[in-house]
């Protein structure tokens, strides 16, 4: 089921619109769970940085985040094997939602293991999808250890939330959609990073469409910054704990493939505070009338907290910059009450 380009050749800038649409139709047939999301121009964000800013609205996915692309693709592969007794996923929220949604569509039993830091609204959404929910440990790493144990003892298939080639392949469809929609190659792409699954998918997709040298800005929050710490140490590093309120970014260790991609000269890693991410969520709600979670606020803070402008002044991004693409990764784990809780905790 792996996606192959026509004639096994890389996409090129000269591909016409008809060819691009044909590719997207083929990808859509392979994963019937995600939708082709809107690509919107943000007037407010464009004004802030003096260049056109496009928003890839992954918050519009059926489960509220980009996760349904890669997770759905992997679940479909599991179902096609006809060998699984069910699937199990450890998650801080969005990967679990994607797994539960895809499993329900495929008539597969699903077990989702959450850390205690996961908002209660997520647990209820998972139960509404028909999944069995277990809460184990404080952070995702604890939940993942329990998921692996249960998979072994109960014969379940592990759906890893970020560290699997099928997950990256599914996420790479974002870039193919960008290729079909943008008037020209972007000047840079901004993405939030937790364990690194979305980042890996973006990098894989960029290579496939011939945009492998486009700058990619990876955004994390202080206390959930495993990729940034690894990049500085030039080696994978396991954080002692997750202290950020952006729990959906809460992997203590980035996946190996994300670390390898981070070595490329066009990859930039930056970190913002929880407060900066929260302020970005609030400003984005005012500008675009869309509520996203704190993890998504990390990438939005690249514009709202002046990271883009600073990188340009430092010569690490071009000035002027061609169009900037923000991957609005989602908001499946937030509602008004959760936003108010974050405001109270972060601003105390």
Summarize pLDDT for 76-108 with one digit per residue, the tens: 999 988 778 999 999 888 999 999 999 999 999
pLDDT recorded at residue 248:
82
CATH number at 31-65+164-347? 3.40.50.1100
pLDDT recorded at residue 73:
96
CATH number at 66-158? 3.40.50.1100
- SS3 for 267-329 is EEEEEECHHHHHHHHHHHHHHHCCCCCHHHHHHHHHHHCCHHHHHHHCCCCCCCCCCEEEEEC
Q: What share of the chain has pLDDT > 90, as a percent?
A: 82
pLDDT recorded at residue 243:
94
How far is the C-alpha of 238 from the C-alpha of 202, rounded, in Å?
A: 23
Q: With 0.85 as the threshold, say if the pTM is over it.
A: yes
pLDDT recorded at residue 18:
58
Nearest to 191 by CA among 326, 339, 85, 347: 326
Nearest to 237 by CA among 248, 245, 246, 228: 228
* pLDDT one-digit tens code per residue, 33-72: 999 999 999 999 999 999 999 999 999 999 999 999 999 9
**To 10 degrees, the CA torsion angle through 302, 321, 61, 204?**
-100
pLDDT recorded at residue 13:
37
Tokens 């890839």 belong to 56
How far is the C-alpha of 323 from the C-alpha of 92, rounded, in Å?
A: 32
SS3 40: strand
pLDDT recorded at residue 11:
34
Q: Which residue positions in the chain have pLDDT lower than 70?
A: 1-31
pLDDT recorded at residue 6:
30
Q: 135 pairs with which residues across the strands? A: 114
According to CATH, where is 3.40.50.1100 located in the chain?
A: 31-65+164-347, 66-158
Q: Are 333 and 292 within 8 A, CB to CB?
A: no
């Amino acid at each position: 089921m792996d996606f192959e380009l026509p004639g096994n050749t890389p996409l090129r800038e000269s591909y016409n619109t008809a060819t691009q649409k044909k590719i997207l139709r083929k990808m859509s047939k392979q994963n019937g769970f995600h939708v082709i999301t809107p690509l919107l121009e943000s007037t407010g964000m464009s004004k802030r940085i003096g260049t056109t800013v496009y928003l890839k609205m992954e918050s519009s996915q059926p489960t509220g985040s980009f996760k349904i692309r890669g997770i759905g693709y992997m679940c479909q592969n599991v179902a096609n094997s006809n060998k699984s007794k069910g699937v199990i996923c450890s998650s801080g929220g969005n990967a679990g939602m994607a797994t539960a949604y895809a499993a329900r569509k495929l008539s597969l039993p699903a077990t989702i293991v959450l850390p205690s830091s996961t908002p209660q609204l997520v647990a209820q959404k998972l139960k509404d999808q028909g999944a069995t929910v277990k809460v184990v440990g404080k952070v995702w790493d604890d939940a993942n250890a329990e998921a692996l144990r249960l998979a072994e003892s109960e014969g379940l298939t592990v759906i890893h939330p970020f560290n699997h080639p099928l997950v990256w392949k599914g996420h790479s469809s974002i870039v193919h959609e960008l290729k079909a929609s943008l008037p020209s190659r972007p000047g840079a792409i901004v993405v939030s990073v937790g364990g690194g699954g979305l980042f890996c998918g973006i990098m894989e997709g960029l290579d496939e469409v011939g945009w492998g040298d486009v700058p990619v800005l990876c955004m994390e929050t202080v206390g959930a910054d495993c990729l940034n710490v690894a990049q500085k140490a030039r080696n994978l590093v396991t954080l002692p704990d997750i202290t950020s309120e952006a729990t959906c970014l809460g992997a203590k260790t980035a996946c190996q493939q994300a670390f390898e991609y981070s070595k490329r000269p066009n990859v930039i890693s930056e970190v913002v505070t929880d407060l900066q991410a929260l302020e970005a969520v609030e400003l984005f709600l005012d500008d675009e009338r869309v509520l996203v979670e704190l993890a998504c606020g990390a990438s939005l803070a690249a514009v709202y907290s002046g990271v883009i402008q600073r990188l340009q002044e430092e010569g690490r991004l071009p000035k002027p910059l061609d169009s900037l693409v923000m991957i609005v990764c989602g908001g499946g784990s937030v509602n008004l009450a959760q936003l108010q809780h974050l405001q109270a905790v972060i601003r105390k």
